[in-house]
Amino acid sequence: MTQALTTKLKITSWEENPYREFDDGRKFTRADITLGDPGDELSGVSEMLLYYRADGTSSYVALMHLTGRLHGRSGSLVLQGHGTYDGTTARGEFVVVPASGTDELAGITGTAESVSTHADYPFMPLTLTYDVT
């Protein structure tokens, strides 16, 4: 049975460093992000590679490892995704990496979406739609 979980993951740390920069303001960066505090229902870590255009907008790819409880089931899963930032809104689309679920989330499949603005900070809204077989 397909279920949906809508949550806001707290961004507790965001370390981002450029690894390639250009004179016109374009750059490539890598970000290591911690989501949630120990004891939260759902927490995790994310690693992102970002490309910033000269105007400050960006595109990214990401892997996110989440641990916690989904509708009473404990375990972890990995999301793989990509997204954009248009100067106002960050949008990301993710899929559950096949065979990444552990414990009571073994067999999980699904997708996730995140849409946020600066007003959401320090939270990252996330909607996860999933099945566990």
Low-confidence ranges of the chain (pLDDT < 50): none
Question: Residue 79 has what pLDDT?
Answer: 98
Task: Report the predicted TM-score, pTM, of the whole model to 2 decimal places.
Answer: 0.94
Q: Are 69 and 51 in contact (CB under 8 A)?
A: no
Question: Residue 38 has what pLDDT?
Answer: 62
d(CA 32, CA 88): 21
Amino acid letter, 116? S
CATH superfamily for domain 3-132: SO1590-like (2.40.350.10)
User: 85-118, pLDDT tens digit by residue?
Assistant: 999 999 999 999 999 999 999 999 999 999 999 9
Q: What are phi and psi of 84, to 5 degrees?
A: -140, 160
Per DSSP (E only), the strands in the chain are 3-21, 27-35, 42-52, 58-70, 73-85, 89-96, 108-117, 123-132
Question: Residue 41 has what pLDDT?
Answer: 84
Amino acid letter, 54? A
Domain ranges of the chain: 3-132
Question: Residue 133 has what pLDDT?
Answer: 87
